[in-house]
């Protein structure tokens, strides 16, 4: 995973959402991020059944995921403190079983915040531990998200 983080970090200046295709590859290589060269498949995690993985790069200090971010990774790249705000299901369109990953790629700390009417469950705290940390968010029931992985109080 560290090699993936390094590779994506080199591509952090991409100004749009990128898609990594993990479909059939020839000679251990897969199509590139938005046509910017070829990404070596050995750098990617192997996940059975994973066909497409969306990378949503955010440069601002606040971002509210939408249904378009379903089953994707959101890279927060701000140099100052930043937040990912989980909105009410009616507005965001998420349903039970949806998954989001949030990664802190900038030097500012990333906090996951429950918007009005949202329950956010987490084991230690809503702040990602450090730069390059990530957390996985599972939509477990109506207006409820469960956060697991690399966070702190």
SS3 10: helix
Give pLDDT tens digits for 125-150: 889 999 999 999 999 988 999 998 77
pLDDT given at position 54 = 83
Whether the pLDDT of residue 44 is over 50: the answer is: no
Q: Residue 45 corresponds to which tokens in the numbers above? A: 């995690």
Q: Which residue has the higher pLDDT, 152 or 76?
A: 76
For the full predicted model, state whether its pTM sits above 0.85: no
């Amino acid at each position: 995973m560290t090699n993936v983080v390094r590779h994506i970090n080199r591509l952090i200046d991409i100004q749009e959402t990128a898609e990594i295709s993990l479909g059939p590859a020839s000679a251990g290589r897969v199509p590139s991020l938005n046509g910017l060269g070829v990404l070596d498949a050995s750098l990617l995690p192997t996940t059975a059944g994973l066909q497409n993985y969306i990378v949503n790069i955010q440069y601002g200090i606040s971002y509210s995921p939408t249904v378009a971010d379903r089953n994707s990774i959101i890279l927060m790249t701000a140099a100052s403190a930043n937040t990912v705000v989980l909105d009410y299901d009616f507005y965001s369109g998420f349903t039970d079983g949806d998954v989001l990953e949030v990664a802190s790629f900038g030097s500012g700390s990333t906090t996951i915040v429950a918007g009005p009417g949202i329950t956010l469950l987490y084991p230690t705290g809503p702040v990602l531990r450090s730069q390059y940390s990530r957390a996985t968010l599972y939509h477990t029931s109506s207006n409820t998200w469960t956060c697991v992985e690399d966070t702190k109080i």
